Copies of this chain bind each other. A is one copy, B any other.
Amino acid sequence: MSTVPVGRSDEDGASAVRPPNMRDVARRAGVSHQTVSRVLNDASAVRSDTRDRVLSAIEELGYRRNSAARALVTRRSRTFGVITMPATLYGPASTLHAIELAAQEAGYFVRVATISGFERHALTEALRWLEEGPVEGLVVLAPLLGTAAKLGELWEEMPVVFVEGATSTGLASVSVDQVAGARAVTEHLLEQGAGAPVWHVTGPADWVEAQQRVVGWRSALADAGVRAPDPLPGTWSPSSGYAAGLDLARRGDVRSVFVANDRMALGLLRAFAEAGVRVPEDILVAGYDDVPEAAFYSPPLTSVRQDFAGVGRHSIGSLVDQVEGAGTAGRGAAVLPPTLVVRQSSLAPVPRRARRSGAGWAPDEGVTPGRPRPPAGHDLATPS
């Protein structure tokens, strides 16, 4: 490792404390700066002993390539921008983290612009901020309806990928199949509830994911010939689930509820507990997201797991294809299948045939520390 301090004090005695540059390395290795550049980039067309000399000069000087200079001449920043909301929500936060990880693996940097809302003005400002970078591509974590349309004409020629939310536009997008997930969980509740109507607590109406979960829920009920009750509005927050829970507990005719995310389901379970409604004996409950804590709710919550890491990888993969590949590479719409994870909250206790396909009564690993996520669940094939 480097033992020589930065800067050079040999040769011409330039006393500057500036870091060593390519020319310094070249001089030390007895080659030209261009050969150093070749070693760093091509690796080809350089005789191996020359390369070795250059590499050891780099090591000795503690040389690090100046990426600003590199970016200047190549017009490539190796940076992707991410536009996101100030969400500490489990889903978006996990996706963002996965994106950062995937980008790092692909050798790109990520620059995050957080916006407070999806109004046009905020979007424009975020783009400005990112373009200062500048960025080579854009990931838009745009879970609200209409974001894609609003942004549509803002970039020209800038590679972009919409995550969790874009549809219909010709642009690249990556998402988890929310309709399939909602269908699966609804069908499961129908089966466990012996065909009784499945109620639904929605997410905010302007979220694409919330809307698609409604669609999946409706279609499963329609296919079963069961009339859909009016959905109860929620806001993703536990308190909105709590409110919905109080509503549902007051009615006497509810047999099962599909809640659009786990946090709301937690609030709903709390309301049921206070109202003396037993889960799953009186009412079956299922959530969505499969947060790591879901297996430890009371009772352990049936949920739908999403592959956030996969979403991150696909997003970055699409951008890399668009930037490095030619033509229409990476332009498609990737749709990832979700996984139903069955736990106690949705299993009708009486007909004990309910234990199916590895689903257990969590906490299923018992006292074993670690991630409480059993490999249980069926993979759902992507329908579209």
Residues of A within 8 A of B (CB): 5-6, 18, 64-69, 71-72, 75, 77, 86, 88, 90, 93-94, 97, 100-101, 104, 109-114, 128-129, 131-134, 156, 234-235, 237-243, 246, 263, 266-267, 269-270, 273, 292-293, 295-298, 300, 363, 365-372
Contacts and interface: CB of A to CB of B under 8 A. Distances in A.
Given A88-B97, A129-B104, A270-B363, A239 B114 contact: no
A304 to B, nearest CB: 18
Given A68-B72, A111-B109, A368 B156 contact: no
Contact of A240 (B71, B237, B369): B369
Contacts of A370: 235, 237, 239-240
Given A104-B114, A109-B111, A293-B293, A242 B298 contact: no
Nearest to A373: B239
Nearest to A112: B100
Query: A-B pairs with the 9 shortest C-beta distances?
Result: A243-B367, A68-B71, A240-B369, A238-B296, A68-B72, A239-B372, A270-B296, A235-B369, A267-B296
A368 B239 contact: yes
Given A234-B369, A270-B296, A6 B156 contact: yes
Nearest to A233: B369
Contacts of A68: 68-69, 71-72, 77, 134
Given A93-B93, A104-B112, 9 more contacts: A6-B156, A69-B72, A93-B97, A111-B111, A237-B370, A239-B372, A241-B296, A246-B367, A270-B363
